[in-house]
């Protein structure tokens, strides 16, 4: 490490090849900037500027690092959040969700606030007045806030993450889901247009998600063995339609169709599905993927006709889970049928017994016979 003696200050070549400049100030302490220089000439230019500042009778000298701090605008939550989001590798739908949470619920409260000035009380006050009628979205917004501030803490931009509200990351369900009864399900299917009847039945009896149903193609339906091959799903984000694999390996699965539904599935393939192996099973009227709004418009009328205005489309999947549980299916079998990933290490490596899903499907059809008896 070389050091050059000068009339004012010192320039030192560092092992990295860069140059450090420093000098002794009027306070008797050595001072240097927070940064180093590419060349010795750059370092010398900085020393020359500092010497002129010291010689200027109209300006009061202050240490260079103190001046740098005064000139540097404090980093705001909004600026940091934008950098944080831009630097994350996220699925399109997740990015759109985070974007909405930031724009609608976090930036209005914290955008111009310097990161270091966001306090625990600020977070508590925000949480106490935000999305009180939408607890799930509220927990998502809080979780995003906590994650962003946690990243700022790890980067030493703040001393401590102020987002620590006990229980804020857990959403309490507003209402308990009441599954549809068999008579209610029958009434809903009866009230649905013909092109959506089979879709409604598969949502309930096979427990498929909307995105999985909307992306099913002829090649995914095996009517000989009575199996649906769930390999993909379709989602919408920022106005775009995106086909992708399920989030987890558990979502890639084969679901046995209850035998009593097979005649309707075969008829649907003849009457309503698109042509060809890759033809959609449940296309929109004009072709292509069915939009949720198009389905919900007719589903809402059908659920009203069945006396279940509280039932959401996704609740049909819950209905299917309850019906399958009534057959005596184990937890592992239910999770395999529904495409759920298990939360615990013990359940993570459990698998449904081979061939057991077909037995569940047969017992599901037996429920219909029991209802008719």
Residue 350 and residue 341 in contact, taking contact as beta carbons nearer than 8 Å = no
* Cα 146–Cα 81–Cα 174 angle in degrees, nearest 5: 45
Residue 256 and residue 360 in contact, taking contact as beta carbons nearer than 8 Å = yes
The CB density around residue 345, as the number of other CB atoms within 10 Å, is: 7
> What per-residue confidence (pLDDT) applies to 343?
41
- Spell out, as residue ranges, where the chain has pLDDT lower than 50: 343-354, 373
> What per-residue confidence (pLDDT) applies to 165?
87
Residue 265 and residue 123 in contact, taking contact as beta carbons nearer than 8 Å = no
Residue 183 exposed, middle or buried by CB count within 10 Å (0-12, 13-18, 19+): exposed
Tell me the C-alpha distance between 241 and 248, whole Å.
Answer: 20
Residue 33 and residue 64 in contact, taking contact as beta carbons nearer than 8 Å = yes
Catalytic residue positions?
A: 209, 314, 317, 340, 349
DSSP string covering 16-34: TS-EEEEEE-TTS-EE--S
> What per-residue confidence (pLDDT) applies to 175?
57
Tell me the C-alpha distance between 361 and 333, whole Å.
Answer: 12
The pLDDT mean for the chain works out to 86
pTM of the predicted protein model: 0.60
């Amino acid at each position: 490490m070389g050091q050059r003696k000068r009339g004012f200050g010192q320039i030192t070549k560092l092992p990295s090849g860069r140059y450090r400049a420093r000098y002794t100030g009027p306070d008797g302490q050595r001072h240097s900037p927070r940064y180093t220089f590419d060349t010795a000439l750059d370092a010398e230019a900085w020393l020359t500027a500092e010497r002129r500042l010291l010689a200027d009778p109209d300006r009061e000298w202050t240490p260079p690092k103190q001046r740098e701090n005064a000139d540097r605008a404090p980093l705001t939550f909004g600026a940091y959040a934008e950098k944080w989001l831009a630097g994350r590798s996220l699925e399109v739908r997740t990015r759109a969700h985070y974007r909405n949470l930031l724009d609608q619920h976090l930036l209005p409260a914290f955008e111009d606030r310097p990161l270091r000035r966001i306090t625990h009380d600020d977070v508590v006050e925000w949480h106490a007045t935000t999305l009180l009628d939408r607890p799930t979205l509220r927990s998502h917004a809080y979780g995003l806030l906590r994650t962003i501030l946690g990243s700022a803490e790890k980067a030493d931009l703040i001393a401590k993450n102020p987002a620590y509200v006990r229980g804020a990351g857990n959403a309490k369900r507003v209402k308990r889901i009441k599954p549809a009864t068999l008579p209610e399900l029958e009434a809903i299917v009866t009230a649905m247009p013909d092109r959506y009847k089979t879709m409604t039945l598969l949502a309930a009896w096979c427990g498929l998600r909307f995105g999985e149903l909307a992306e099913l193609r002829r090649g995914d339906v095996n009517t000989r063995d009575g199996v649906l091959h769930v390999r993909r799903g379709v989602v919408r984000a920022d106005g775009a339609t995106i086909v992708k694999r399920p989030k987890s390996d558990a979502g890639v699965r084969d679901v046995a169709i209850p035998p009593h539904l097979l005649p309707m599935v075969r008829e649907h393939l003849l009457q309503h599905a698109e042509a060809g192996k890759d033809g959609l099973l449940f296309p929109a009227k004009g072709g292509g993927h069915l939009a949720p709004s198009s389905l919900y418009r007719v589903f809402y009328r059908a659920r009203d006709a069945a006396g279940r205005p509280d039932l959401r489309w996704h609740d049909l999947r819950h209905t299917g889970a309850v019906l399958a549980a009534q057959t005596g299916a184990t937890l592992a079998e239910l999770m395999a049928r529904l495409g759920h990933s298990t939360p615990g290490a013990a359940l993570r490596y459990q698998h449904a017994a081979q061939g057991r899903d077909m037995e569940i499907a047969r017992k599901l059809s037996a429920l219909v016979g029991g209802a008719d008896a």
